[in-house]
Structure 1
Amino acid sequence: MVFYKNLNNTNIILASGSPRRQQFFLDLNIKFEVRLKEIEEVYPPHLAAAEIPQFLAELKANAFKDDLKDNDLLITSDTIVWLNDKALGKPNNYNDAFAMLREMSGKVHDVITSVCFMTSKETEIITEITKVYFNTLNDQEIEYYINTFEPYDKAGAYGIQDWIGLIAVKKIEGSYANVMGMPVDKVYEYLKNF
């Protein structure tokens, strides 16, 4: 495609098992391959807010560092929900998901996503923050959502594109795609100017 002429000799590797992130790349009409490695997503306890997804996105990329060829561009990403000075990642189980959604009910939280671009020579990280305003949810709504949509693969235990996004999200400030797991407009700009 004309927008990505500069990428003709670049092999883009998306290191993400997220179907939403893969779909974004398909929607952008970018040729890419998916490569996955099991990485324990642990970060130092002193990190806060945007430092956490920045650290984790780079941690994921570093697992591939020694495999990169000169024409490879590796892309990794990490998303957290930041609420009451703590990070909400992916829930471990039903109770975890329920507690997260109850805590977010009627409040404003930040969805923070970092994207790491790594070549054999350099690493660059971009970060986007979106403010999400939640309506008050009752226990039945939370229970229905978790049982129906099983949001265990999502930071903060919800997907804005799901049923809960329709009933719970009062408004957002920032990128909608970012809440789904990637600030697509920023990724597009980066690739266009790569």
Structure 2
Amino acid sequence: MLHSKLSGKQLVLASQSPRRKELLKAMDLDFEVLVRPVDESYPSDLSPSAIAEHIALAKAEVFRKDLKPDQIVITGDTIVVFEEQILGKPKTTEEAHTILTNLSGKKHRVISSLCLMNTTKILVDHDTAFVHFKEFSPEEISYYIDNYSPMDKAGAYGIQEWLGHIGLVKLEGSYNTVMGLPTQLLYQMLQAF
């Protein structure tokens, strides 16, 4: 059982994401949240999954020199890919509107990476899910942008919010991967740690 394996270990979640915190709590894991600034740039020749892993590793690396032997830092990154374009967090409501209009009625990919690091070991992996949305009306998109927070989310939406409830037609893969923390993969990685 994972909990006995983690006895005496301190999990550190290096993420501000309320969704990641919520999912980690739902796994009955005790953890503290510590966040440090990190450069999220990446080499231009990487594939989307390699980008997600690169950023998760960069987020963990900023903790390397301060880690205590009993600590395991958990970092992650989520990337939304549509027609091989990476959709980041929108900077304006207009950009959010454009992104959601593009995703309307179509399929896109969500890649969530994980990095686990302690003083002696590093594991990095990712999981991919495919999201199929219904055709959104301009009014539905505007309602979502006006009433929710698309600016802090890759791809301008949270699957667990109103837009996901009314628009998710089909999901291939893990719902939690789309939320930003592939819990089943994390469980496997923690057991392998």
Bin of the TM-score, shorter chain as denominator length: over 0.9
Say whether 1:61 aligns with 2:60. Answer: yes
Q: Among the aligned pairs, what percent are the same residue?
A: 39
How much has 1:160 moved relative to structure 2?
0.8
Deviations along 1:156-176, one digit per CA (max 9) or x if unpaired, are 010111110112111000000
- Alignment RMSD, CA only? 1.2
Tell me, which stretches of 5 or more residues in structure 2 are unaligned?
none
Contact persistence 1:113–1:127 (CA under 8 A): yes
Structure 1 residue 193: deviation in Å? 4.2
1:137 aligned onto 2:136: yes
Equivalent residue, structure 2, for 1:117: 116
Q: CA deviation at 1:115?
A: 0.3
Native 8 Å contact 1:4 1:191 kept in 2: no
Q: Is the 8 A contact 1:48 1:86 kept in 2?
A: no
- Name the CA distance, whole Å, in 1 between partners of 2:110 and 2:35: 24
CA contact (8 A) 1:133 1:169 kept: yes
Show the counterpart of 1:99: 98
Tell me how far apart the structure 2 counterparts of residues 50 and 183 of structure 1 sit (CA, whole Å). 14
Structure 1 contact 112–127 (Cα < 8 Å) conserved: yes
TM-score by structure 1 length? 0.95
* TM-superposed deviation, 1:38: 1.5
Residue 155 of structure 2 corresponds to 156
Q: Report the TM-score, using the length of structure 2 for normalisation.
A: 0.96
Distance in 1 between the 2:180 and 2:32 partners? 18
CA distance in structure 2 between the partners assigned to 1:40 and 1:51 by the alignment: 16
What is the aligned length? 193
- Give the SS at the match of 1:4: helix
2: CA distance between counterparts of 1:146 and 1:8?
Answer: 43
CA distance in 2 between partners of 1:130 and 1:3 (Å) = 25
| 1:168 corresponds to 2:167 | yes
- Mapped to 2, the partners of 1:87 and 1:29 lie a distance apart of 33
Structure 1 residues not aligned, in runs of 5+: none
Shift of 1:191: 2.1
8 Å contact from structure 1 (residues 14, 75) kept in 2? yes
